[in-house]
Amino acid sequence: MSEATHSADPSRLAQYQLGDSMLVHGEGVRAWDSTGREYLDCVSGTFNLLLGHNHPEVMAAVRAQTEQLTFASSSFQTEATNQVMRELVKLSPANLTRVNLRSSGGSTANEGAIKIAQYFTGRSDVIVPFRGHVGQTLATASFNGFNRMRAPFPHQLPGALHVPGPYCFRCFYRQTPDVCQLLCVERIEDFIEYAGSGSVACVIMEPISGVGGNVVPPPGYLQELRAFCDAHEIVLIFDEIQTAFGRTGEMFAADHFQVQPHIMTVAKGLTGSGLPLAAILTEERMANWERTLHGFTYGGHNLSAAAAVKTLEIVQRAGFLENVRASGSVLIDRLRALARDYPIIGEVRGLGLMLGIELVKPDGGKAVEAANTFQRELQQLGVLTRVSEHGLGNVIELRPPLILTPEDAHVVADRFGEALGVFA
């Protein structure tokens, strides 16, 4: 019999590292731990609590669904899953007319999107920008744009082709946006010719990188990338796992940049308050797909679908996106004002309520240790944030629930200013 018992220290039971605090309650943009400390949750759980903790309307929709039908095989239709598909097609770019709901998380949705692209093109390679985070399955980890996510696994899926992304603050080509002529698109041709197999199925990228440092592409980049993909008959996949449903101040980042991808993946915020559900949206030409090629038991879960129906209703209400833009404007303006007084802040960037604060050393290098110190200081002051690259980067990630008010945004900015005192 194992020596572990129900009374053992959980840190000795978990196969992974646990945090020090225990959260016991959440409501809206706030959460409380077991000591009673209150936090402003500025990472929305794991970027997935789009409507904050325990949104009353979403929770009511889930409770009502439990009294009707908790689960149904994807061999059957349900009203909740049908309505999710209708709403996703209505809201998404006009070229995306088909929905695959048979994933419950972003990693498997991205993996499914890649499989669809490979199936319909008959090609193999997957282009991913440096720092691109595709997912955590063995396949998506093989494609991730971070070597540390690939290195521990000896048997990686072949076909990843990594290219420099549109990271203007640290441009791979040492150019500036006013003169570069988007070399980060033009030079993809060289990578295809010299570094890959020459058989490219797709490009998969986040319109704004999440884990990779909240990098916002320069104007014209995504339009040029779409044109490049069309010219080479490559499928363009937008991973909108973090950016969808209002995070950028528009319904999708695709709307903000006015670019239609051939495939889009969504997850995280789809259910508003934390239930697992993901979707792959495709063009009509990709409709002829054998259902058994990509499916998971809990994909399209009926309780999650009920939460998603209510969430998609809420994010379409008058004033919802306006609030995202107003609260995001408060944060970015105030954080940029702080940057003028604190040279450790190299850049504040983002859209809507998806912001990144890059910390730098005096020589411009990445201030990784300082970023983690700053994140801990913010937590002590009751503001939950994350550090890019799973704590190994130098960018503070700020993703509060989209119900954050301008008043609360000022509170967050005040506490950022207080935390910066550690660098005075």
Banded pLDDT at 7 (limits 50, 70, 90): low
Yes or no: say if 257 and 96 are a contact pair by the CB < 8 Å rule.
no
pTM for the predicted model, two decimal places:
0.96
- Output 370 or 20, whichever has higher pLDDT: 370
| Of the listed ranges 5-14, 141-150, 235-244, 309-318, the one predicted with least confidence | 5-14
Banded pLDDT at 8 (limits 50, 70, 90): confident
pLDDT tens digits along 214-240: 999 999 999 999 999 999 999 999 999
Yes or no: say if 152 and 138 are a contact pair by the CB < 8 Å rule.
no
Kindly tell me if the per-residue pLDDT of 18 is higher than 90.
no
pLDDT tens digits along 392-405: 999 999 999 999 99
Yes or no: say if 92 and 245 are a contact pair by the CB < 8 Å rule.
no
**Cα 373 from Cα 394, distance rounded (Å):** 10
Kindly tell me if the per-residue pLDDT of 277 is higher than 90.
yes
Kindly tell me if the per-residue pLDDT of 382 is higher than 60.
yes
Question: Taking Cα atoms as reference points, which of 131, 129, 219 lies closest to residue 181?
Answer: 219
- The average pLDDT across 56-65 equals 98
Kindly tell me if the per-residue pLDDT of 4 is higher than 80.
no
Yes or no: say if 302 and 69 are a contact pair by the CB < 8 Å rule.
yes
Domain annotation for the chain: domains and CATH numbers: 10-54+318-423 (3.90.1150.10), 59-315 (3.40.640.10)
- The average pLDDT across 31-47 equals 96
Q: What percent of the chain has pLDDT over 70?
A: 98
Banded pLDDT at 12 (limits 50, 70, 90): confident
Question: Taking Cα atoms as reference points, which of 126, 120, 127, 218 lies closest to residue 167?
Answer: 218
Residue-level pLDDT at 2: 53
Residue-level pLDDT at 1: 47
- The average pLDDT across 66-85 equals 95
Could you tell me whether strands 125-129 and 38-41 are parallel, antiparallel, or unpaired per DSSP bridges? Answer: unpaired
What are the structure tokens assigned to 257, written together? 């940049």
Residue-level pLDDT at 117: 98
